[in-house]
Amino acid sequence: MGSYSDILILIITGIILIWFGFFLFFRRSSPLYPFLPWVKKEDPKASANNLQFCPVCAQKMLKGKLVKTIAFPSSPSGSDRLMYIRGCYNCLEEEKPRKCPVCKSDLSLEDFLVARMFERSGRKNHVHVLGCNHCRKT
Q: What is the pLDDT of residues 14-57, one digit of tens each?
A: 999 998 887 777 776 676 666 666 666 665 555 555 667 888 88
Quick one: pLDDT band at residue 10, thresholds 50, 70, 90? very high
Upper half-sphere CA count for residue 22 (Cβ side, 13 Å): 6
Upper half-sphere CA count for residue 37 (Cβ side, 13 Å): 0
Say if CB 104 and CB 97 are below 8 A apart.
no
Residue 109 to residue 87: CA distance in whole angstroms: 9
pLDDT value at residue 76 = 74
pLDDT digits (tens, 9 = 90+) for 68-114: 888 888 777 777 888 899 888 888 887 788 888 888 888 888 888 99
pLDDT value at residue 9 = 92
Say if CB 65 and CB 50 are below 8 A apart.
no
pLDDT value at residue 38 = 63
- Determine the length of the chain: 138
The predicted model scores a pTM of 0.59
Region of 131 (left: φ > 0; alpha: ψ -120 to 50; beta: rest) is left
**What value does the CA radius of gyration of the chain take, rounded to a whole number of Å?**
28
Q: Average pLDDT, stretch 2-25?
A: 86
pLDDT value at residue 13 = 95
In 3-state terms, what secondary structure has residue 126?
strand
Task: Give the residue, 39 or 62, on which the prediction is more confident.
Answer: 62
In 3-state terms, what secondary structure has residue 85?
strand
Residue 111 to residue 86: CA distance in whole angstroms: 7
Judged against a pLDDT cut of 90, whether residue 133 lies above it is answered with no
Q: Average pLDDT, stretch 60-71?
A: 83
